[in-house]
């Protein structure tokens, strides 16, 4: 809650080590570190915001969930290639589209295979709307009326 905090720590040192290994393996595969990429030299499991570019297909930053402040940035030729790349992952929890044209964002959001798509905003959960993924990223929904119904077993009893 300290206003001066720039970055919080990973949940534990083991998770940070796993994240760093994903970054290192991605770099060894050809990705470029634009910023970050090394654990911070302080007590605790602090990993800096890290941006990777030139991320090759098949490396950890391309195919695995990185549970930490690591962004894999891709360059694509057009909208079709962007949608194809976004949907090529086996995950589908949330997506974030950034555009000056909100109508364009809404159109593209329909084609993104994810449980939620945010336009010009980071993906987050809000108790007023259902949250959950598709593919290998979450099962069912949580939050809101729709989400709470995921936690009950409905039963039909028919009497004649």
Tell me the per-residue pLDDT of 87-140, one tens digit each, with 9 for 90 and over: 999 998 899 999 999 999 999 999 999 999 999 998 888 888 888 888 888 767
pLDDT score for 121: 94
Q: What is the value of pTM for the model shown?
A: 0.82
Task: Work out the average pLDDT over 12-31.
Answer: 97
pLDDT tens, 41-100?
999 999 999 999 999 999 999 999 999 999 999 999 999 999 999 999 999 889 999 999
- Measured CA distances, 28 to 31, 66, 107, 146 (Å): 7, 16, 37, 44
pLDDT of residue 152: 81
Q: Which residues of 117-149 are buried (b: 16+ CB within 10 A; e: fewer)?
A: bbbeeeeeeeeeebbbbeeebbeebebeeebee
For residue 9, give Cα distances in angstroms to 47, 62, 78.
Answer: 7, 23, 36
Q: Say how far apart CA 69 and CA 126 lie, in whole Å.
A: 21
CATH value of 1-75 in 3.30.460.10, 3.40.50.1820, 3.40.309.10, 3.30.390.30 = 3.40.309.10
Instruction: Give span(s): CATH 3.40.309.10, the chain.
Output: 1-75
CA distance 26 to 18: 12
Q: Shortest CA distance to 52 belongs to which of 11, 84, 22?
A: 22
């Amino acid at each position: 809650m300290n206003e001066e905090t720039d970055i919080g720590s990973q949940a534990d040192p083991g998770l940070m080590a796993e994240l760093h290994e994903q970054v290192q393996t991605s770099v060894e595969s050809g990705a470029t570190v634009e910023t970050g990429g090394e654990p911070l030299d302080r007590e605790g499991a602090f990993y800096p915001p890290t941006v990777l570019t030139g991320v090759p297909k098949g490396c950890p930053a391309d195919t695995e969930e990185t549970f930490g402040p690591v962004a894999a940035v891709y360059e694509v030729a057009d909208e079709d290639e962007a949608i194809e790349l976004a949907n090529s992952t086996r995950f589908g929890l949330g997506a974030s589209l950034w555009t000056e044209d909100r109508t364009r964002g809404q159109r593209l959001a329909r084609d993104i295979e994810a449980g939620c798509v945010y336009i010009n905003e980071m993906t987050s959960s809000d108790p007023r709307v259902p949250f959950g993924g598709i593919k290998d990223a979450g099962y069912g929904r949580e939050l809101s009326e729709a989400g709470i119904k995921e936690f009950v077993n409905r039963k039909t009893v028919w009497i004649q």
